[in-house]
A = this chain, B = another copy of it.
């Protein structure tokens, strides 16, 4: 496999879908919100994304069956718009990889006639917020007014949006696909279900849906445990060639 590949596991007709992206990022805010949405809406997996830029590992599941590290697309029907929800174990880390993976996601979105991209993430401030704000960034000026009315805060976030949450908007804009990034205010140093809840509430208002948020804390704990496990093994992966001497720097084979 030489490039990022999306494999459809179900061919579903979708009604002007909205892409909701919640890959791992700051405070796992977007991931927790999107995973929760999938569960509460009973969304169905429709596609899997594999990438040579993801870790070269397979995950051992409790039942003895392995699975690839991957991203997944889930589908949930809606009134005006269906939802296409993107979640996953990891996101690519280098620029080249992010540009490639984002391009493939947008190809799939265009095929499915996605009408709007909403990316979810955390906005790290180094402080513990009492009531987390939800900051917004959009592709085009008129969208600012459109989403202000849902309580999205514009003009207060500074700097850059890193990774998929930003790249989907940026590369989407080049393809003339409108996008909105919702960022939950968060400390940045820990997994933050409260920030995820704030993002989810604004998102639900925008989508005109209701979702129970009681299980968010439990989900946050699971996400944190998984993220730590991935990281630990990723470090172990460095010693794959000559693992009997794990302290040696093996970067030379690259």
Interface residues of A (CB under 8 A from B): 1-2, 7, 24-28, 50, 52-60, 62-69, 90-100, 102-103, 122, 124, 136-141, 143-144, 154-155, 157-163, 166-167, 169-171, 173-174, 181, 188-191, 224, 227-238, 240-246, 248-254
Contact = CB atoms under 8 A, between A and B. Distances in A.
Nearest to A234: B252
A138 to B, nearest CB: 6
Nearest to A24: B241
A149 B38 CA distance: 38
A99 B189 contact: no
Contacts of A232: 159
B231 A245 contact: yes
A94 B231 CA distance: 16
Tallying the copies of this chain within the complex gives 4
A65 B254 contact: no
Contacts of A167: 56, 58
A244 B158 contact: no
Contacts of A27: 243-244
A241 B53 contact: no
Contacts of A143: 65
Contact of A52 (B59, B95, B238): B95
A53 B227 contact: no
A166 B2 contact: no
B244 A227 contact: yes
Given A56-B166, A60-B158, A95-B55, A248 B233 contact: no
